[in-house]
Amino acid sequence: MIDVIESLKDRTEEPYRGLCRDLELPYSSVMRWRTRRKDGKAAVDQPGPQKTGPLDLSALYDGIRGLRHGRKRTGGTVAMFREFKNQVSRREFQGMVKTVRGEIDGAKEALERRIEWLVPGLVWGMDDTERAWLERYKAYVLLAHDYGSRYAVGVQGDDAKPNGLMTATFTERVFGDAGMRPLFLKHDRGSNFMSREMQEVLAEEYVIPLISPRHYPPYNGGVERAHQDIIRHVYQLLGDDKVDGRTFRLACEVSRHEVNHLCRAPLSGLTACHVFEEARPYVRAYCRRQRREAYEEIKTLSIDIVDELGEDTVKARETAFRYAAETWMQLNNIIRVTRNGVVLPPFYQLWSH
């Protein structure tokens, strides 16, 4: 946490008291931690005798996750602690149990968090889905969606599952047709999105990829709902009939047009097409230099978070980058994050994951 605070102070030049107030940390504790760090000591010492036995941390966490977790208590901890008592202290064990219980509760709390997109055009999402509309093959729908305006930027219907090259080609075409490209693109870990061809396109266009966490569809939920709108309109056109590929592709394009020109209450009665067009000046304001600066700022903050977590894994780095990007977007008034109607501070993510 000291590294995070020092990094924030360097960038914001805010006094330590102000940062402690924003982060809801005791000022005296932060000063004590800094003094210990300057003296070459650990910021916080673990009370009690130190355990010296080898610890299989993965086995311990797997065991804790398998316990009976309630909202405030966890069953089965006594027996499990006996198994690991020579490798971990009781205090450390109880902290791990609380952390895992918090992760489980956190998944529920995450569903209560709501993101309001303040600037359209800057954050897009991409996803694909499959249906059984074609005569001989499955039907696949690849969608590019803008979160701020709810605009379906591009839709591609096909009888072949999109691979890396197809997805990259589709992305280039969508950028060209739209006449702009987003600052962020959210997608899952599908092989077509993680492919070398796709990542090269994003790098060339200075688009920052945000990879969805595994087994957590709500992170890219806007695209999921947009897909449902498209599929619903395709179904109105085709019903249960089996059609050829050309008819299916045409139905996808017609559905995209209809969805984009619906008047929507969340958009003050305007259409997604209208709001997306108004976003062009905001998107074009982010030139390559500004996009590169945004990426470097997010990357620096994510490195600080990984260092604080003390877990340099692919999952930890992706999680840190997601929340660093969300923090950056809050600080730059691109999004507003609320939970149960209360606006969350921009540094909320630093201690919630």
Q: Find where tokens 């030049």 sit.
A: 13
Distance (Å, whole) CA 238 – CA 255: 11
- Cα–Cα distance for residue pair 305/4, rounded to 1 Å: 7
The pLDDT of residue 331: 87
Residue where the block lists tokens 């009976």: 68
- Residue 350 near residue 23 (C-beta atoms within 8 A): yes
pLDDT digits (tens, 9 = 90+) for 27-61: 788 787 788 777 776 655 555 445 445 556 666 66
In terms of Cα–Cα distance, which of 250, 238, 262, 216 is closest to 131? 238
Instruction: Say if residues 327 and 346 touch (Cβ distance below 8 Å).
Output: yes
Residue type, 222: G
CA distance 111 to 67: 23
Tokens representing residue 15 in the block: 């006094």
Could you give the CA distance from residue 251 to residue 157 in angstroms, rounded to a whole number?
A: 8
Alpha carbons 126 and 142: distance in angstroms, whole number? 7
What's the confidence (pLDDT) of residue 274? Answer: 94
Q: For residue 346, what pLDDT is reported?
A: 55
Alpha-carbon gap, residue 159 to 130, rounded angstroms: 9
Question: Which residues in the chain land under pLDDT 70?
Answer: 1-4, 8, 11, 22-24, 41-62, 65, 69, 71, 99-113, 132-137, 214-221, 309-311, 340-353
